[in-house]
Amino acid sequence: MCSIPPPPPPLPALPEVDPPPKALSTNRVMDELGDACAWALEHRELREACIKSRICQNSPPYTYKYKYFESISQIGPTCGLVALSMLVNGAVKPDELLNIAKFKGYTSNGEMFSCKQMVKLAEEVFSLLDIENVRCQLQCGNLFSPETIQRLNNGAVLLVPYDADANHSPCLRNGHTAHWTLVCGVIIPEDPGEKYDMDMENVFVLCKHGKSKYLAVWDLRDLTLSNRNLFEFSPKKGADGLVYILPEEGIGGKDGLRDQFLIFEGF
């Protein structure tokens, strides 16, 4: 007979995390950065990311939505767990998530190669934190779609698996560099007209992940294509001597990562 350890005691309610206080006065910020992206002056992290990416430097975007999350650095292959920990403002630490995910049989080293299991883990976390107002949904396809873009505009947050390039931006490597990012905002620079997806170069997402402390601005089209190309687990990682837990049909199957993401609403 196998014994199941008692559940851990409930964790405290999810804390509200505000952006850190501005280190510089408004005048000093303007001196350092000039007038670039002045529309984002109240969000220093967002402003610096847009200046770096040369997005809407001279005029405000048609519309944008941004929610601040504290950055958390990952240790080992725990990018998905770190992204989920950022989502709850660190109320459950990555190492705590690792213990839960191991106990549930979702991971061996911290890897999360199943969106369906990530949904279950998120629901477990929300239950521990007694969070009832946030809804989590598994979405198959339609990352670049009017529906998803509108939901981002309404304040939705996403957890998206993708292939990471050397600078951690989206790329196409067949799933060999699979990574997770937290999408915490969206920018539409120009008036999209009737539909948000008519111009695929007019939608950018604001992202955080465990390999950088900085907010990133990526083309939603690039992130979508990267998400769709997660076909197989890296042969290099498969030969590194570690044991990884993979879905029966691999990361490209229906229980894996390919063309799937998580959407959270109710923040």
**What digits encode the pLDDT tens for the residues 248-267?**
999 999 999 999 999 999 97
Query: Can you read off the two tokens belonging to residue 120?
Result: 């279950």
**Residue 30 and residue 71 share a domain:** no
Q: For residue 100, tell me if it sits in a domain.
A: yes
**Residue 190 and residue 127 share a domain:** yes
**Residue 33 and residue 89 share a domain:** no
pLDDT, tens digit, 9 for 90 and up, residues 103-127 = 999 999 999 999 999 999 999 999 9
**Residue 131 and residue 32 share a domain:** no
Q: For residue 129, tell me if it sits in a domain.
A: yes
Q: Range of 127's domain?
A: 61-265
**Residue 83 and residue 49 share a domain:** no
- Say if residues 70 and 89 touch (Cβ distance below 8 Å): yes
The DSSP call for residue 194 is T
Q: What is the mean pLDDT of residues 151-161?
A: 97
Q: For residue 43, tell me if it sits in a domain.
A: yes
Q: For residue 15, tell me if it sits in a domain.
A: no
Catalytic residue numbers, as ranges: 79
**Residue 205 and residue 224 share a domain:** yes
What's the total number of domains in the chain? Answer: 2
Question: Which of 79, 68, 113, 40 has the alpha carbon at shortest distance from 214?
Answer: 68
pLDDT level of residue 17 (50, 70, 90 thresholds):
low
pLDDT level of residue 238 (50, 70, 90 thresholds):
confident
Residues 7, 170: Cα–Cα separation, whole Å = 38
**Residue 254 and residue 154 share a domain:** yes
Q: What is the mean pLDDT of residues 138-167?
A: 97
Q: What is the pLDDT of residue 32?
A: 54
Is residue 195's pLDDT more than 50?
Answer: yes
